[in-house]
Structure formats: structure tokens, C-alpha cells
Chain A
Amino acid sequence: MVEVKHVSKTYGSKKVIENLSVDIQPGKITSFIGSNGAGKSTLLSMLSRLISKDEGQVLLHGRDIHSIKPNDLAKELSILKQSNHIDLRIQVRDLISFGRFPYSQGRLTKEDWVEINKAIHYMELEEIQERYIDELSGGQLQRAYIAMIIAQDTDYVMLDEPLNNLDMKHSVQIMKSLRKMVEEMGKTAVIVIHDINFASCYSDRIVALKHGEIVREGPTEEMINSEMLKEVYDMDIPVQLINGERICLHFK
């Protein structure tokens, strides 16, 4: 289990996260939602040791993540940030093989290749595995990154806006494979997500942030309602049950 205890983060004079505590429940998809600047990405980056925190602790199985050796932590917890510009031309297959780095330090063994091929198969990347990543579409690139995370084989998988710049089809594809990872492989996923309906349809738990604090958290079915949405987004958003899913009508 990952426990966040009283963490705070200040940039300059601006408090981005203030005395925030949350437990990430294992074997579930937890979505962080909230408007721009609510501190979602900062929280995720602190959770996954990408940035330091000013106060508080993040515990993985009871141990402070900063006391765990980086290489060992990389076998337990992975984080994928929004893919910013990548100039390097490497093949999809090589990108995915980097996921095995914490295990083999770059000298890939037979078992590493088994894992890499499994990840390629899982994300259906067989046909483009020889392609260079700068030739891929946004959706393909995102799938390749997720395949790398699968090859990294960590219990905890954290994704910062995995649907950024993706069309509907690819967004659904990514969310479905995430669901599959959680259900079939027993992984725990934490995602920062903007599309409230994707959060509603695919996550088990929702953590709603506002001004660096948690407004509310809980199981998705208890969270997705007009009252909560009003509190988080300051908008009147009707919620309707369509095919058993809670859909937020936030367009008008």
C-alpha cells in the first residue's frame, strides 16, 4: 500500500499542496481529478519520487520512498509523465526494453526478452515494434510507453494524463488496457485525468483536489454526482445513468 502522510509542497510563495494525506488502495484504479492548478500532477510526482516534498512522507509498504534505493523502487513503482517532446530516434522495441533496466542494468537476459515480448504482445505493438518512436502517432507512442511500463513490471503504475492528445478510439484503448492490467495482473494504477467521464467509467476510486487539498475522496459511485462536481469544479453538472455508467453532462 502507498500512504501519503501530511505532504506539502510550495513553489516560490505559492502553496501547491497543503498538508495532504491519502491512502492508495491496492488492486484498484484511483483517479486524481480537479481543475487546472489543483495540484494533481504535483501530488502524483511526489507520490512517485520525481519531485521532493517540503513536508510529510510517502510510504510504500510502510517505508519512506526516499529511503528505498532508486533501483529497487523502480521495480515497485513506475511513473509515466505526459510525453513531452522526444528528440531521440529509437525503435519501439528498444524503448520497451528500457523498462527492464532496473532488473538487468542494460544487459538484457533471456527472461528480460520474455517480458519485453509479452509487453509488446499485450499492447498489440507487434507490427510497429521495429519503427522509430519519432514516426509514431500520439496513440501509438502512448501505447509504446505503457508497454515499457508493463515490461518494468511494477505493482504500482502511475500515469500523468495518459489520454493527453489522444483521440476517442485511442483513449478508450488505453483505458481498457489499464483496466485489464489491474484486473488480470493485479496492478494498482493511479492516474491524473481531465476527462471526468473517463474517470467515472474506468476508475474504482476518485480523489478530488482543489487548491492543493483533497475536497473529497471515495469509491467512484459515491463520488460522481452533481453535488461533488459543484464543489470541485464550481459548475452545475447534471449526472445521468446511461447503460449503468454515470455520465456527466458538462458541455453546456
Chain B
Amino acid sequence: MDIGGLTSQQQEILLVSRIPRLLSILIAGMSMSVIGFIMQQLSRNKFVSPTTAGTMDSARLGILAALILFPTASMLMKVSIAFVFALAGTFLFMKILDRIKFKDTIFIPLVGLMFGNIVGSLTTFIAYRFDMIQSIGSWLQGDFSMIVKGRYELLYLSIPALILAYFYANRFTIAGMGKDFASNLGLQYKQIVNIGLVIVAFVSSIVLLTVGSLPFLGLIIPNIVSIYQGDHLQKNLLHTALLGALFVLVCDILGRVLIFPYEISIGLTVGVLGSGIFLFLLLRRNAYAS
């Protein structure tokens, strides 16, 4: 077989490494951005995302639990355990959110970050005790350089979750308008929120296990889309997915060319660029509010 005049070695690199890498960048970028939007609608806060609500940290704790309790577990098994932890963590955060009387836009993600850090320190403590800091560390930073054929296919599982999100998009937006608003339209508010959280936890765990964490991605992409075309989730879903994929792709290319022939991991590029944009959004919001 001859594809575009490539040698068989080049073909193999293309099929085993390049295409899987591209696909996983696109899927991870899409998924994280879309679930970020869902979280922001359900929590009614623009600055809540898997990174700022303890979802990612809880999933990581789940991975650690899987590594310690079931060292021989398959990827699917690890994802399942991470999912259960991520769901429990996110749920707990939403419960805390319910209890907080002081619903300041900036305060709530700070609470989420603190909550995430508490879970994170628990993870570090346990990992330290079991001498597993190194193995858990590999999941701290997002990294596409390890993606090869056979190591990323799990990511495909997030696509049906995204399709489900599309069908529920209007319900999420209505739930985002508040409980009374949703009840008036005949929706079961709690059920909608729970479905949303399940999608968020599921997708986060998958991305975390295959790619690693992509901090702030689920926060900045939805906010940018929201600025130029509002918060109607169903209308925005495609924009959010495409912009997310594009952003991660650009970050990946930057990471690969900046210190060529070495590579900066995607977690770092997304984190640096992302936190910069996050700060800009925060300041912009304050300027807008005053």
C-alpha cells in the first residue's frame, strides 16, 4: 500500500503515532471544553470547571485508589474507579455550593480550588505512604507524547457522552436559569443536574487517564464562546467543541516547536496560556462590573 508516496516506515509512524496523537488532541480538546460549559451552566457560575471544582483532583485520587487496590486493573477498570471518585467529588462540591450563602462569582471557584487541593493533598499523602508519587505524577501533567495506537482509544468513549450532552443541552441551559425556572417548565431539576454531573465526571476521568489534565481548558473556551455568542448551550456546543480542539492543537504545536527537538508537555502550555487568558477574563469581568 502506498499513501501519498510515504515509505512503509513513515506510514507506520503516521498510523501508530501521528494520527492517534491528532485524534486524541481533537477529542480531548472538544470534550474538556464542552463539559466545562455544562458545569458552568449547572453551577450557575462562569468560573467553575473540572479544574476549579475538584473533579480532576477527585479523579486522580480514584486513579491512585485503583493503582493501590487493583494494581493489575485494565484501563477500563481504572476509568470506572476514577469516574466514581470524580462523580463523588463533583457531587460533594455541588453540595458545598448549595450551602454557601455568599454566592460571589469569584469566591465559588476559589472554594472549588481549595476543595480540589484538599483532595489533592490527600492523594499525595497516600501516594507518598505507598511510594507511588512517581506513578501518580505521570497523571498530573497532560502529555500527548505518550499517545500511540492502543493507548488512546478509550477517548472515543467520550464521544457518545458528548452526543448525549447535545441532546440535553437545552435542559442544561434551563436548569442553569434556576430550579424554579426549570420546575415551571416541567423539568425535574435534580435529575438534569445529576445527568450533567455524570457526563462531566465520565469525560473528565477518561481524559485524565489517557491524556492527563488540561488545566483551565474547560474554563477559558466556554467563556470565550460565551462572550461572542452567549450561553445558549445547544447553539454553542459546536463552537465550543471546535474552538477547544483548535486551542489544544495550537498549544500542542507550540509545545513541539518552541524547544525543538524537545517537547513541552501540553499540560504546561495549556496551563500557562490558559491561566493567562483566565486572568484576562477575570480582570475584564471586574472592569465590566464596575
Contacts and interface: CB of A to CB of B under 8 A. Distances in A.
A86 B188 CA distance: 20
Interface string B181-225: 101111110000000000000000000000000000000000000
A101 interface: yes
B46 to A, nearest CB: 7
A210 B186 CA distance: 31
A246 interface: no
B185 A98 contact: yes
Contacts of A78: 184
B177 A91 contact: no
A74 interface: yes
A88 B43 CA distance: 11
Interface in A69-95: 69-75, 78-81, 84, 86-91, 94
Interface stretch (B19-27, B67-75, B230-238): B230-238
Contacts of B183: 49-50, 70, 79
A90 B178 contact: no
Interface in A142-164: 152
B170 A106 contact: yes
Nearest to A100: B185
Contacts of B173: 88, 90, 98
B180 A88 contact: no
A70 B230 contact: no
Given A87-B44, A90-B173, A132 B186 contact: no
Nearest to A133: B230
Contact of B174 (A70, A84, A87, A101): A101
B41 interface: yes
Contacts of A90: 173, 230-232
Contact of B186 (A73, A80, A86, A89): A73
B226 interface: yes
Interface residues of B, number: 27
A101 B173 CA distance: 12
A152 B183 CA distance: 13
A238 interface: no
B176 interface: yes
Contacts of B11: none
A88 B177 contact: yes
A102 interface: yes
Q: Which residue, of B184, B185, B188, has the highest number of chain A Cβ atoms within 10 A? A: B184
A48 interface: yes
B169, B178, B232: which has the most chain A beta carbons within 10 Å?
A: B232
B170 A101 contact: yes
Contacts of B235: 94
A86 B185 contact: no
A69 B185 CA distance: 12
Contacts of A49: 183
B186 A87 contact: no
B57 to A, nearest CB: 25
B186 A102 contact: yes
A84 B171 contact: no
Given A89-B231, A90-B230, A94-B232, A50 B180 contact: yes
A78 B171 CA distance: 17
Given A71-B186, A101-B170, A101-B186, A89 B178 contact: no
List the 8 shortest-distance A-B pairs measured between CB atoms, nearest first. A74-B186, A106-B170, A71-B186, A89-B230, A88-B231, A70-B186, A101-B185, A102-B186
Given A87-B45, A94-B235, 7 more contacts: A50-B184, A69-B186, A70-B186, A79-B183, A80-B184, A87-B176, A105-B170
Interface of A: 45, 48-50, 69-75, 78-81, 84, 86-91, 94, 98-99, 101-102, 105-106, 132, 152
